[in-house]
């Protein structure tokens, strides 16, 4: 059993779980009613049928069920939901576990907590205690969410002073108007509920501050400034970093420059990705998935990658792009029709030309029909080098660009959407954090706008 705090997440070992809300019943203690919302990639229900509670106790798919209360007068009380993630429809990406308080607020409910149990064995997998409830009359305790084919649980702990109606409407449930209450004396209006995404970001910053990680906290706040300027302060997307492990990258790795660059990409991912992590891929002669980089493991992550993957002699962009498409969309086959889903932002970093240009072009073309954006960053000489000194050749240091092919991908015709951007640096250490975050958001906001307009991003 694991006790976790607000914002933390843990993997679920099986598919069948019970979410059990517990509290101490007694005279004057509000009754608590558990509920669940089945959400798609856009964080909303498809219809009111995706709301499971005491008046609608089972979802049509059979995957989520309101199991009912167990309570004794003046003693422990529970209200339970059962979830079978193996039966959930593929379009469902999250199951939010919430509750409402009847005839009172959650601040008057003692011993409030959520336990997630293995439904088959009854073993307690995780516990989340609520200690900061006050005037809220509805609460999101936690959520089960899909990540890379597996399911995890995250402790949320967000309250709504506007009751069950406020909670439900935040996720797309239509709520019937209630009769107007009789006039009462004016009182201070409750603070408006903030979105679940905003609460997650607040919890993230608090967690970093509590553990004294000033470096990562500062990076995430700098990333937030750039995202707010683009209207993406509460945007959600999957984020990946794809690193070249060809032999020519040796000095960049040994000098710590790739580690520092990866940390800045992680800061962006922590704002975008609900899991506060980024997926990592590496490529040289082959392409390999390298797990996830998170606030818990980032300080030694690149060193651990190199311990598992030796530098290789070749450079094959196409192999890496195929691995990324398989990871997020289940296939790297050619595509000629849109496949809507959650947006994926890929930071693709290399210091040399590829040996498979035709394969690379094919993946860029096919992935333009997927909600996938490629941000190419080259380390070396290019006509688009941000930190290059002018020369009579138009390139820092003179000579032909090493990345003419990548520059061409940025402008490749025939795609469903322009799904790539490119810039180059002579040395990634020369680019300030603020400048880098702005560069990473040069073309992505416009791609996102067009992807939404054409139905590619839900």
Contact 100, 137 (CB under 8 A): yes
Model confidence at 34, pLDDT cuts 50, 70, 90, reads very high
Q: What is the pLDDT of residues 437-450, one digit of tens each?
A: 999 999 999 999 99
Model confidence at 7, pLDDT cuts 50, 70, 90, reads confident
Token digits of residue 73: 């007068």
- What is the torsion angle, in degrees rounded to the nearest 10, for the CA atoms of residue 170, residue 171, residue 172 and residue 178? -50
Helix (H) or strand (E) holding 254: helix 250-254
Q: H helices within 239-333, ranges in order?
A: 250-254, 257-272, 301-308, 317-329
As a whole number of angstroms, the distance between CA 343 and CA 395 comes to 34
Quote the pTM value: 0.73
Q: What is the pLDDT of residues 271-290, one digit of tens each?
A: 998 888 999 999 999 999 99
- Pairing mode of beta strands 94-102, 31-39: antiparallel
Name the DSSP class of 454: T
pLDDT confidence of residue 399: 44
Is 70 exceeded by the pLDDT of residue 310? yes
Write b or e for each residue in 124-161: b if 16 or more Cβ atoms lie within 10 A of its Cβ, otherwise e. Answer: ebbbbbbeebeebbbbbbbbbbbbeeebbbbbbbbbbb
Mean pLDDT is lowest, of 6-10, 153-157, 294-298, for: 6-10
Model confidence at 295, pLDDT cuts 50, 70, 90, reads very high
Is 50 exceeded by the pLDDT of residue 180? no
As a whole number of angstroms, the distance between CA 313 and CA 285 comes to 6
As a whole number of angstroms, the distance between CA 357 and CA 276 comes to 33
Contact 37, 44 (CB under 8 A): no
As a whole number of angstroms, the distance between CA 237 and CA 41 comes to 10
């Amino acid at each position: 059993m694991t006790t976790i705090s607000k914002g933390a997440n843990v993997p679920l070992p099986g598919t069948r779980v019970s979410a059990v809300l517990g509290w101490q019943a007694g005279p004057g203690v509000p009754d608590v009613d558990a509920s669940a919302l089945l959400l798609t990639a856009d964080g909303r229900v498809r219809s009111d049928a995706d709301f499971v509670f005491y008046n609608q106790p089972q979802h049509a798919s059979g995957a989520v069920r309101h199991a009912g209360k167990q309570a004794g007068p003046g003693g422990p009380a529970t209200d339970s939901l059962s979830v079978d993630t193996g039966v959930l429809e593929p379009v469902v990406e999250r199951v939010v576990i919430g509750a409402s308080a009847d005839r009172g607020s959650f601040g008057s409910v003692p011993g409030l907590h959520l336990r997630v149990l293995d439904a088959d064995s009854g073993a307690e997998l995780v516990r989340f205690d609520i200690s900061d409830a006050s005037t809220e009359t509805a609460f999101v305790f936690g959520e089960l969410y899909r990540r890379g084919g597996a399911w995890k649980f995250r402790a949320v702990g967000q309250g709504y002073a506007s009751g069950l109606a406020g909670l439900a409407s935040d996720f797309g449930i239509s709520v019937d108007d209630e009769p107007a209450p009789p006039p009462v004396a004016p009182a201070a209006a409750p603070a408006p509920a903030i979105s679940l995404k905003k609460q997650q970001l607040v919890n993230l910053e608090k967690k970093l501050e509590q553990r004294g990680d000033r470096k990562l906290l500062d990076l995430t706040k700098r990333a937030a400034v750039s995202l707010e300027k683009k209207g993406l302060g509460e945007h959600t997307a999957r984020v990946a970093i794809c690193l070249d492990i060809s032999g020519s990258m040796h000095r960049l790795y040994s000098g710590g420059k790739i580690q520092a660059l990866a940390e800045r990409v992680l800061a962006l991912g922590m704002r975008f990705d609900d899991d506060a992590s980024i997926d990592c891929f590496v490529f040289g002669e082959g392409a390999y998935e390298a797990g996830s980089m998170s606030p818990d493991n980032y300080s030694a992550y690149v060193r651990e990658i190199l311990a598992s993957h030796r530098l290789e002699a070749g450079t094959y962009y196409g192999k890496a792009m195929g691995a990324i498409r398989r990871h997020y969309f289940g296939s790297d086959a050619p595509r000629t029709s849109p496949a809507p889903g959650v947006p994926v932002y890929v930071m693709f970093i290399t210091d040399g030309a590829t040996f498979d240009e035709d394969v690379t072009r094919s993946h860029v073309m096919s992935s333009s029909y997927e909600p996938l954006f490629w941000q190419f960053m080259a380390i070396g000489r290019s006509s688009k080098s941000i930190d290059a000194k002018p020369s009579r050749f138009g390139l820092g240091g003179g000579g032909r660009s090493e990345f003419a092919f990548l520059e061409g991908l940025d402008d490749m015709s025939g795609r469903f959407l322009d799904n790539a951007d490119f810039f180059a640096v002579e040395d990634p250490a020369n680019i300030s954090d603020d400048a880098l975050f702005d560069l990473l958001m040069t073309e992505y906001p416009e791609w996102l706008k067009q992807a939404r307009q054409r139905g590619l991003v839900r």
